[in-house]
Amino acid sequence: MPRIGGTIDPMDDATFWRELGQQLRVDSIRASSAAGSGHPTSSMSAADLIAVLLANHLHYDFDRPDDPRNDHLIFSKGHASPLYYSALKAAGAITDAELLTFRRLGSRLEGHPTPVLPWVDVATGSLGQGLPIGVGVALAGQRLDQLPYRVWVLCGDSELAEGSIWEAFEHAAFNKLTNLTAILDVNRLGQTRETMHGWDLDAYASRATAYGWHAIEIDGHDVAAIDAAFTEAAEARDRPTVIVARTKKGKGAREVEDKEGKHGKPLENPEEAISELGGVRSLHVDVAKPEGDSVPHKFEPDDAVAWPRWGPADKVATRRAYGDALTALGAERGDLVALDGEVSNSTYSEEFRHAYPDRYFEMFIAEQQMVAAAVGLQVRGYRPFASTFAAFLSRAYDFVRMAAISRAKICLSGSHAGVSIGEDGPSQMALEDLAEFRAVHSAVVLYPSDPNQTAALVRLMADHPGIAYIRTTRGALPTIYGADERFEIGGSRVVRSSDADEVTLVGAGVTLHEALKAADALGEQGIAARVIDLYSVKPVDAETLRQAAEDTGAIVTVEDHWPEGGLGDAVLSSLAEVENVRVRKLAVEIMPGSGTPAELLHEVGIDAEAIAAAAQELVRAPAG
Amino acid sequence: MPRIGGTIDPMDDATFWRELGQQLRVDSIRASSAAGSGHPTSSMSAADLIAVLLANHLHYDFDRPDDPRNDHLIFSKGHASPLYYSALKAAGAITDAELLTFRRLGSRLEGHPTPVLPWVDVATGSLGQGLPIGVGVALAGQRLDQLPYRVWVLCGDSELAEGSIWEAFEHAAFNKLTNLTAILDVNRLGQTRETMHGWDLDAYASRATAYGWHAIEIDGHDVAAIDAAFTEAAEARDRPTVIVARTKKGKGAREVEDKEGKHGKPLENPEEAISELGGVRSLHVDVAKPEGDSVPHKFEPDDAVAWPRWGPADKVATRRAYGDALTALGAERGDLVALDGEVSNSTYSEEFRHAYPDRYFEMFIAEQQMVAAAVGLQVRGYRPFASTFAAFLSRAYDFVRMAAISRAKICLSGSHAGVSIGEDGPSQMALEDLAEFRAVHSAVVLYPSDPNQTAALVRLMADHPGIAYIRTTRGALPTIYGADERFEIGGSRVVRSSDADEVTLVGAGVTLHEALKAADALGEQGIAARVIDLYSVKPVDAETLRQAAEDTGAIVTVEDHWPEGGLGDAVLSSLAEVENVRVRKLAVEIMPGSGTPAELLHEVGIDAEAIAAAAQELVRAPAG
């Protein structure tokens, strides 16, 4: 593999790798010192590992980061960003001047890597996420692209305390991801103290081996050993490889090497350390480009599958309509893939699973790995729909948060929302998911109340340039929309209205149907009620809500969700600057238990009766 | 150990255990059939394990569930609730009539167990949580109570895919929790298919052994083997034990035994199955009571530690004030304990760690295990304060959600909130935590802006009968309150006001100080602005906000948080039924990068300049 020494030449491979490692250390120190913050010591421990990887094993065209044949390099220990950026400089992707903009306002070199840089697949910095995301990229390589690229993930030893790492170990072995190599930088020291296992490499290797990985223990500063380990990893059959490398944090600088209390801060005497490390260098490493001319496999559309349609007599759960629509969309679009947390017969992603087993990923009961895999799959341009009970998506909230920073395009479906699931009880009821997903940047939050609408929204989700969340319902709901009606992200639907409306009822999903019943009851009492289906909870259709405020002056919102952060708050937010409107928010205020759906809707005060009563009160007794 | 056969007597131990197992199966079927839903087959697989545990190993006084000497039995596989409730019946804790109220509205026997029942420590039903919570209870036994009670956790095999389970394996071994036994019901079948490992008991045992556990593989329907395994577990030294039991889902009923597609539904022919199982029984198992008269260790208060006080000249980060106050409160209260996710020098829980090492729990980078351990510790009456970066508490959101269902009393501290952390970038910035915790039942959300206030709020948190969340800030803030000022959960503070106020500015934490600067600037332009410190974001001081709405008619809210679900939404919610007020919500609308705190506050539009501009616009150009 070609590589070129810059200022110092010619030199043998090992000398070059060592020199390159020193350069990465020096540049990590320089970048952190220029910034006045950052993690030089966590960069220095892994410098030799990354030097040898760049020089002799990585296949990556820095001029064409979108080349599908490229390897993928993920810094799961995102705080080692100085090392990553120093590697970019050594590879010629960025200049030394840009390196020194590290952590400045407007710089692409953020405190932790993000895809603002074209070579970064995903944002890291929340520990324990890079490896499970790497599993997703490796799954794309193995099962979708069917290309021989490799996925290299640099992990810290501290982050192996995250359970999500072990979800990744489990899934990588189960799927025989030979294309995945984890590089474990065992520098022994965490932020405040020694890790649980210190330099006990066997502790990591024995766990990895038990999970079914190939484990190689090395001295992470011995470039020949590193080189041999990478070669061995590439040759492993039937299993992923972890290289367990004993390293020293702050390696090469007396001020910090293997010392506690040196985490996450620039060196006090950077010049002295740079001098110890042999001074500033400007070696260039000519990273090998991907070989061959293979192209990604394409999954072809299937024209034979018809889009689902429901008639007015159909009562269908929106979760089932989700499965039907996803399957139909999967026929149109070969880039669509589905994942599920081993509840596919509840979320109805099983329909997709049956139709396209090649594009379905069973993630078992591992929601963090499920969302991480979705993020990894979209790195390669696939459009993942990941589903489980909405309540259990909360398990992966940090992954969704980070997915937004990754600018990831993923679709999430949460079924079994709210007390309307009935007997299973509160552990299975999502009552916070609207708040959860509203507070995610780039996210849209959809909550359909009818099967045709669900199907239309599923189609829209697949083109949303961010995170798209859909909340579905366990029980069957009446079909109230035609199969050809159009809906939009940010839209709403006035389901009932008249010139005489005195009050507006706003619901979505199961509560829309309760609102319709309430409107009937109010009508019998001579109160005309407008009913709005707020199927897009974020963004919200402010215009329609403002019109309703102006027309009726009184709004009742009702949601199968805690009172905070959900549909009611979305409505209030859209009316923040509107005067002359009173809004009453109905939501789940007490901890529910078990019961039938109807009993529970009544018990927590979000059924038609409660809505009608609230509307009546609001209309008949205006605030002073 | 005493046990008594009921209708059938006398019988030898093994016969009794087998008969009891059959009774638990029959009753699981009866309860599920009466409910019309539930998980009989997942109950039947573990029936023999629970029968032998109850009859010969558990020490528990069902008449005195609060006896500190009691063992703890946690059903991590909470969907096996029919088995749990059947065991309660066999032990005489509930009647057969109550058993048949399973899943009905108002019944204590919810779909998944909750502490509505006095014998249930914690709610389960979100898989992978019972074992990490059991680690917390076992830590309490080992390090705090210093009592010999045992913690028994029944796990399903499907839930071993959850990373949180492996965080628990790691922590239990690291802490040498000999008092913890995991009982793994390897029934092979998940909800839709076989698990990753089927009946490969070695797959589980080898992982557990690699983590440092003692593993025993048995036939989970061989009562003698079960009995021997429990005995062996109790005798293990220096390590926890996992009993890996090969079982059959639906064991004993041809209709369902070891069959796919039989998860989570009542039997079609329950009478036939009951007959196969030998019919209805009413055996009573006399569960052994705890022995000895030992009492829990008490940590004594230390009068020598003074409450922290800051003067007007002090600039102090609220995270530091948190650490100071926690340490002072720890001196007063021996029941106070602290946990941290290996960032104690960032959250300042390190002060508590140094002062009371016996009451500090290092949870390393395992936030799920951290919150789970907190829940486990409060089971035994301790008051845990768990801290990490606020952003990383999102990792444990499902655990917080379930903690609310557990009626747990825990305190959580999230540091490094918002863009004001500066250079580290968005992965480290909590921008959704207010939304996250507002949408948790029983939770209060506190966001102090001054060290004296922080200390006062820490004291209040420790008595909150639910989940108390405090959001702290990285950077130093001016001291604006006296050391003896009083604050309250649900309170706010009007920091500046006059009769001429034309607009109200509402902030908290770092944005309160920006609001104060904005008020100065507005004053210079002849606009009098009221400033409210909304330090209690939930519950919110509606009265003060309504008064401000009435007095000024215009409110600007400002928060270092995404626009959704946070402080602004809390304000709007409190004013939902108030007319004649316009609210403008300032929040973080764009994805931040790195920069200095001041640069970023400006960049995202939540600094004094942005606040003043918004207020001016609102005052000078009223809406039509």
pLDDT in tens, A207-240: 999 999 999 999 999 999 999 999 999 998 999 9
Interface membership of B248 toward A (CB under 8 Å) = no
- A interface test, pick of B401, B407, B571 with most A CB neighbours within 10 Å: B401
Distance from B261 to chain A by nearest Cα, in Å?
10
Task: Locate A338 and state its tokens.
Answer: 């589905």
pLDDT in tens, B410-455: 999 999 999 999 999 999 999 999 999 999 999 999 999 999 999 9
First-to-last C-alpha distance (Å) of chain B: 80
Question: Cα–chain-centroid distance for residue A12?
Answer: 43
Distance from B449 to chain A by nearest Cα, in Å?
22
CA dihedral A558, A559, A564, A568 (to 10 degrees): -40
Number of Cβ within a 10 Å radius of residue A623: 10
Task: Locate B501 and state its tokens.
Answer: 């106020």
Task: Give residue B462's region: left, alpha or beta (phi > 0; psi -120 to 50).
Answer: alpha
Give the contacts of B372 (CB within 8 A, at least 6 positions apart): B129, B132, B133, B135, B136, B164, B168, B396, B399
Task: Give me the pLDDT at residue B3, please.
Answer: 44
Check: CB of residue B368 under 8 Å from CB of residue A126: no
Q: Of all residues in chain A, what percent are helix, strand and coil, respectively (each to 5)?
A: 40, 15, 45
Task: Give me the pLDDT at residue A535, please.
Answer: 98
- Residue A8: pLDDT over 80: no
Give me the residue label for tokens 């130093």.
B476
**Of B302 and A66, which is predicted with more confidence?**
A66
State the burial class of residue B384 (Cβ atoms within 10 Å of its Cβ: 0-12, 13-18, 19+). buried
The residue-averaged pLDDT of B479-486 equals 97
Band of residue A623 on the pLDDT scale cut at 50, 70, 90: low
Across chain B, which distance is largest between two alpha carbons, in Å? 93
Give me the residue label for tokens 């400033």.
B531
Task: Give me the pLDDT at residue A11, please.
Answer: 84
Chain A hits for B405, Cβ within 8 Å: 426-427, 591
Band of residue B623 on the pLDDT scale cut at 50, 70, 90: low
Task: Give me the pLDDT at residue A405, please.
Answer: 98
pLDDT in tens, A130-155: 999 999 999 999 999 999 999 999 99
Strand arrangement of the beta sheet that strand B72-75 belongs to: B72-75, B151-156, B180-186, B241-246, B214-219
- Residue B8: pLDDT over 70: no
Task: Give me the pLDDT at residue A302, please.
Answer: 87
- Give the SS3 label for residue B216: strand
What is the spatial distance between Cα B176 and Cα B156, in angstroms, rounded to a whole number? 23
The residue-averaged pLDDT of A342-370 equals 97
Chain B hits for A394, Cβ within 8 Å: 397-398, 401
**pLDDT > 70 fraction of chain A, expressed in percent and rounded:** 98
pLDDT in tens, B218-235: 999 999 999 999 999 999
Q: What type of residue is A402?
A: M
- Residue B7: pLDDT over 80: no
Task: Give me the pLDDT at residue A622, please.
Answer: 56
Chain B hits for A174, Cβ within 8 Å: 196
**Of A7 and A255, which is predicted with more confidence?**
A255
Interface membership of A142 toward B (CB under 8 Å) = no
Chain B hits for A193, Cβ within 8 Å: 342, 362
Q: What type of residue is B265?
A: K
Check: CB of residue A281 under 8 Å from CB of residue A89: no
State the burial class of residue A264 (Cβ atoms within 10 Å of its Cβ: 0-12, 13-18, 19+). middle
Chain A hits for B439, Cβ within 8 Å: 431-432, 435-436, 561-562, 564-566
User: What does DSSP assign to residue A430?
Assistant: B
Interface membership of A477 toward B (CB under 8 Å) = no
Closest residue in B to A262 (Cα) is: B345
Mean pLDDT of the residues in chain A: 96
Task: Give me the pLDDT at residue A10, please.
Answer: 64
Task: Give me the pLDDT at residue B63, please.
Answer: 98
Distance from B360 to chain A by nearest Cα, in Å?
14
Dihedral of alpha carbons A226, A231, A235, A240, sign: positive
Task: Give me the pLDDT at residue A601, please.
Answer: 98
DSSP A490-537: T--EEEE--TT--EEEEE-THHHHHHHHHHHHHHHTT--EEEEE--EE
Interface membership of B95 toward A (CB under 8 Å) = no
User: What does DSSP assign to residue A258?
Assistant: T
Task: Give me the pLDDT at residue B622, please.
Answer: 56
pLDDT in tens, B254-307: 999 999 999 999 999 999 999 999 999 999 999 999 999 999 999 999 888 899
What is the spatial distance between Cα A348 and Cα A344, in angstroms, rounded to a whole number? 5
Task: Give me the pLDDT at residue B6, please.
Answer: 46
Chain A segment 185-244 residues within 8 A of B by beta carbon are 190-193, 195-196, 206-207, 209-211
Task: Give me the pLDDT at residue B61, please.
Answer: 98
- Residue B34: pLDDT over 50: yes
Contact A343 B191 (CB under 8 A): yes
Q: Beta strands of B416-466 (E only): which ranges?
A: 444-446
Q: If we measure between CA atoms, which residue out of B553, B556, B532, B535 comes closest to residue B544? A: B532
Closest residue in B to A128 (Cα) is: B365
Chain B segment 16-35 residues within 8 A of A by beta carbon are 35
The residue-averaged pLDDT of B174-193 equals 98
pLDDT in tens, A174-212: 999 999 999 999 999 999 999 999 999 999 999 999 999
- Residue A575: pLDDT over 60: yes
Closest residue in A to B367 (Cα) is: A162
Task: Give me the pLDDT at residue A507, please.
Answer: 98
**pLDDT > 70 fraction of chain B, expressed in percent and rounded:** 98
Of B159, B367, B432, B514, the active-site residue reads B367
Q: Which residues pair with B533 in a beta bridge?
A: B493, B507
Task: Give me the pLDDT at residue A14, please.
Answer: 97
- Residue B109: pLDDT over 50: yes
What is the spatial distance between Cα A43 and Cα A257, in angstroms, rounded to a whole number? 12
Q: If we measure between CA atoms, which residue out of B239, B247, B317 comes closest to residue B474? A: B317
Chain A hits for B193, Cβ within 8 Å: 342, 362
Strand (E) or helix (H) holding B338: strand B336-340
- Residue A2: pLDDT over 60: no
Q: What type of residue is A199?
A: W
Distance from A562 to chain B by nearest Cα, in Å?
6
Distance from A78 to chain B by nearest Cα, in Å?
9
Band of residue B624 on the pLDDT scale cut at 50, 70, 90: very low
